[in-house]
Structure 1
Amino acid sequence: MPLTPAPFISLNDITVHYLGQTLFQNLSLNIYKGEQWALVGQSGSGKTSLLKTIAGRYNVVNGSIAHHYYKEYLQTHQQKEGVFTSRHLIAEVGQKHNFRNLSTNLSNFYFQQRYNTTQAADAPLVASYLSAVADAASTEGYWDYERVISTFQLEPLLQIELIKLSNGETKRLLMATALLKNPLLLLLDNPLTGLDIQTRTDFDNLIAAIAASGITIIMTSSPTEVPAAITHVAILEKGTITATNPRSDYRPDRISTIPVFTPEAGELEALLSLHKMHTFQSIVRMEDVSVSYGKKQVLQNINWQVLPGERWALLGQNGAGKSTLLSLINGDNPQAYSKKLFLFDKKRGSGESIWDIKSKIGFVSPELYQYFPSHNTCLQVVESGCYDTLGLFRKSKADNADLALRWMRLLGIEKEANIPLKNVSASSQRLSLLARALIKNPPLLILDEPCQGLDQHQQQRFIHLLDTLCRSSDTTLVYVTHYPEEIPDSVNLVLHLKDGKVTNNSILA
């Protein structure tokens, strides 16, 4: 008769409150040694909240969480000095980093800092950051400094400031940092977001290696990207676990979905007609543009022209130079002044201000999401797009607030209008930033991984809206993604970067 596996962690009829809301009520989940779990479900179903509850960040008002691994650890390890709780045996990788500046020891980075050489130097180097984490680790084990560098291919990044890492490079560093702590429980919140195709392909092997090292994994995931090394899947819906399955019995097509959204054509036309589109001969023109930081060449001899009404896909692996290229266009990179760069028919640095440029661009990116102030309500965040500011720092105008609410309604997030950005789900935060980019119907939309963190329904809703917008206007689009299947039908041109060089500039097949 097979032995029953030992329990690892048990959630026993827990009720969880946060900011006056009930997140879970009478929720139970038992995880045993040797199991690796994925939490799946639609956006807002409670996946991230459940991770935070397990980590001890939310208040369990009824029921209990039994950390069996913690009790076992205390029986086999000498009692450490000071307070040592179950949280010391847990590592988390969330949607945002918490890096700190050297001068202030605060997480007060700002969006453009990575492109400003003198200000970027206030961020620690990757090597020193990893060393500090390794020195402070409360446990020792398999994952040491050399192993994480090798596993996550961090050697080329060691002498680079944290702030200069791409979104995908940052995710790899956060994973490495978590493993340096040699936790018994690793909590991963959508770890595949922001990773290029090759890194996502390698992720199955990584999960298997982590599990083999004795670490238990609980991760959130999209229904279609559950790694093969995961042994069990829990399906959440509106704060309730509706099913738990062994990985072999899991079927992503059984998760309830919402019909594809069709935007109200009349309302979209009305919104687009509120802002008259300017006429330009050229939107972007680059001639032999190169960008370096010290000895590191980020972009090399880029020649690219974007004409009005064109829709481009900007593709490339993590660290290929995509974000730097976009920073030149969006007015965030001071190196633009010395380059042969023309924006909206004017050479950069010929007298136009950054605000002149930003007034013509709607922009969203993972970095903007990382650094956007979160104290404003979602409605204020969207309205701030009318003024090109990161948040609303002036008195709201009634007509702009009404306009913001209409765009939120098109994206299905009007219910979050009066809730602070920091208190809504990650998907609602991202959709608020998308609405902020769309609100002024700009001549140029730069959408850098806009579907990160959105569930399948929300992605379909946004892509459909974007295609409808492109059919109904002359908006120029630059679209960045690591998921080719996500590229809107309206996109028919591609610029592909590799190691800072253009490898393909053509019509999208």
Structure 2
Amino acid sequence: MSAPIVRFEHIRFAYQLDPILDDFNWQWPQGQHIAILGGNGAGKTTLAKLITDSLRHNSGEVSYADDIGPANIAHISFDLHRELMERDRRFDDSETREDAFDVGTTVQNIILQGQKANAEFSQLCERLGIGHILEQGIRYISTGESRKTLLARALFAKPAALILDNPFEGLDVKAQAEMHSLLAELVSSPTPLVLLTKDANDIPDAIDTVFNMAHGKILGECSAKDAKQQAKAVHHYAKPLPIADAPVHPSDTALLELRDINVNFRGKQVLSDINWTLMPHQHCCISGPNGAGKSTLLGLLCGENDKAYGQQVFLFGRQRGSGESIWEVKSQFGLLNTSMQMSNLKRTKVIDVVASGLFDSVGLYTDYSEGQRQLLVAWLDALELLPLKDQRFDRLSFGEQRMILLARAMVKSPRILILDEPCIGLDNEQKSKLLGAVDQIAAHGQTRILFVSHRSEEVPDCINQFMDLVPSDKGGYTAHIRER
């Protein structure tokens, strides 16, 4: 019988004094394509990092097959995306350039890693639908485009084995279908694959074995079919939230309005003739393909994008650029997005990350009062995050970080809550909490919701308006508005 690709024997790995894996025994059978199914905090990503030697175990033994080692097992994850983004930001020289813009490391260079482009490279980029972004910087592409870029990088390097960490996160509907097709191809290829996932429905039927994992333990194994049959529907969470009272906006006056908006970025048309109004009774879901300009549009509203100046962007009855400061604009919005999560929040305690939402800063640079501390604790408690309050943000799982950033976005009870693909990285229980919390926020306060999602099952019940970004004849994307 062939030796397993990797074998774990009595492995212990702990963060500080908290064991993540303890007396852990498991093996990846030779030649098998497997899935590891479990919620956030199960230990899936820790296991992947131990396999690739990016984490070192405290005790026990890890062994590999003769022809495979940790260096030639590729692990594609949001952590890799974050590391590449941080490196790119460190070398940004925009302030010293005449054009004040540093594209940074391009998608093409990320994939090639110093190798020369060839026919195989071109075919791979075409297969993944990223040929049109090869000259763009890694910091200037969408979340879904980033996922496909990292997959192309791994496949072009021809690894001995491949670990895909929640590959469907952040992909639009078309890209999800393409990913399912690509996974089916990978499962039929000779390269062994591990799929880490929180959703049994993302597991290809041809996967050899599904390992169920929770709390750092392998609980059992089954087929993909059985895993899907055992998946449980999770009802939305409904715990009371500490939502502050706020003034009521006049019902006949628009909260937000965009008139004939056009955005061009370095010669490329992104948005064309956008016309949209959000009235006080409305909560809007914004959807469109990866790269359609959803985040660009949101940035026009909340002060994150300077393309708003000189255009007809109206916030609460006032046109942008009519004397308000950027901080006055930001004070009206709460924001949760992947860019925020990729920001440098190392060594920042969870409670301080939430507190930074009071001051619209990335990181905490201002002391908060005792009354504000009580508000922070109330939000963490309501979202069942209180045990994490003194932990470092960067040590939490991706899904736990996402929930912390929801608390950060809501702590000041903003007039507009922008949730840009908030369910990325969340397991079913966390999605339930987030969607239930969003519905409560909509029902019991004056905060209005702008919600970006590619999946209809992840849209909260409160949504009563939909903006679909669709290709425009003039280039870029325009908006199609419909009501529910």
Q: TM-score, normalised by structure 2?
A: 0.91
Q: CA deviation at 1:131?
A: 3.2
Does residue 365 of structure 2 align to residue 399 of structure 1?
no
In 1, Cα distance between equivalents of 2:226 and 2:14: 32
Q: CA deviation at 1:88?
A: 2.3
Cα 1:61–1:420 change in 2 (3 A) is closer
State whether residues 120 and 161 of structure 1, in contact with CA within 8 Å, keep that contact through their aligned partners in structure 2. Answer: no
* Paired residue type of 2:352: Q
Q: Secondary structure at the match of 2:269?
A: strand
2:67 counterpart residue number = 72
Q: CA deviation at 1:130?
A: 2.8
Does residue 312 of structure 2 align to residue 340 of structure 1?
yes
In 2, Cα distance between equivalents of 1:214 and 1:404: 51
Query: What is the 5 A alignment of 1:85-484?
Result: 86-96=69-79, 97-98=81-82, 107-108=89-90, 118=99, 120-134=101-115, 144-224=120-200, 225-251=202-228, 253=230, 261-264=237-240, 268=241, 271-273=243-245, 275-276=246-247, 281-484=253-456
In 2, Cα distance between equivalents of 1:504 and 1:53: 47
Which of these residues, 39, 44, 55, is aligned with residue 42 of structure 1?
Answer: 39
**After TM superposition, which residue ranges in structure 1, 4 or more long, deviate above 4 angstroms?**
98-101, 104-107, 116-120, 257-260, 275-280
1:63-110 per-residue CA deviation (whole Å, 9 max, x = no partner) reads: 212110xx235xxxxxxxxxxxx2321112111415668xx9654389
Q: CA deviation at 1:118?
A: 4.7
Q: Secondary structure at the match of 1:134?
A: coil
1:270-291 per-residue CA deviation (whole Å, 9 max, x = no partner) reads: 5323x55666832221111111
- RMSD, matched Cα: 2.6
State whether residues 88 and 104 of structure 2, in contact with CA within 8 Å, keep that contact through their aligned partners in structure 1. Answer: no
* Paired residue type of 2:143: N
In 2, Cα distance between equivalents of 1:420 and 1:186: 29
Q: CA deviation at 1:440?
A: 0.9
2:58 counterpart residue number = 61
In 1, Cα distance between equivalents of 2:442 and 2:370: 28
Does residue 482 of structure 2 align to residue 506 of structure 1?
yes
Q: Secondary structure at the match of 2:309?
A: helix
1:125-145 per-residue CA deviation (whole Å, 9 max, x = no partner) reads: 222333335359xxxxx9942
**Structure 1: gaps (5+ residues):** 74-85, 137-141
1:6-65 per-residue CA deviation (whole Å, 9 max, x = no partner) reads: 522222222222333211112122222331121111221111111111111222233212
* Paired residue type of 1:185: A
In 2, Cα distance between equivalents of 1:228 and 1:44: 25
* Paired residue type of 1:53: L
13-22 vs 38-47, which deviates more?
Answer: 13-22
In 1, Cα distance between equivalents of 2:210 and 2:101: 41
State whether residues 364 and 447 of structure 1, in contact with CA within 8 Å, keep that contact through their aligned partners in structure 2. Answer: yes
In 1, Cα distance between equivalents of 2:165 and 2:28: 18
In 2, Cα distance between equivalents of 1:147 and 1:214: 19
Cα 1:120–1:430 change in 2 (3 A) is farther
331-340 vs 122-131, which deviates more?
Answer: 122-131
Q: CA deviation at 1:212?
A: 4.0
1:214-270 per-residue CA deviation (whole Å, 9 max, x = no partner) reads: 321112112332233422111111111101223344345257x88753213xxx3x5
In 2, Cα distance between equivalents of 1:258 and 1:16: 31
In 2, Cα distance between equivalents of 1:122 and 1:405: 40
In 1, Cα distance between equivalents of 2:231 and 2:181: 26
Q: Secondary structure at the match of 1:454?
A: coil
Q: Secondary structure at the match of 1:7?
A: coil
Cα 1:307–1:149 change in 2 (3 A) is same
In 2, Cα distance between equivalents of 1:187 and 1:108: 28
Cα 1:447–1:335 change in 2 (3 A) is same
1:76 counterpart residue number = none
In 2, Cα distance between equivalents of 1:134 and 1:229: 33
1:160-186 per-residue CA deviation (whole Å, 9 max, x = no partner) reads: 222210111111101111112111121
Q: TM-score, normalised by structure 1?
A: 0.87
* Paired residue type of 2:353: V
State whether residues 6 and 51 of structure 2, in contact with CA within 8 Å, keep that contact through their aligned partners in structure 1. Answer: no
Q: CA deviation at 1:403?
A: 0.6
In 2, Cα distance between equivalents of 1:507 and 1:386: 33
In 2, Cα distance between equivalents of 1:466 and 1:14: 40
What is the aligned-residue identity percentage? Answer: 28
Cα 1:228–1:371 change in 2 (3 A) is farther
Cα 1:117–1:359 change in 2 (3 A) is farther
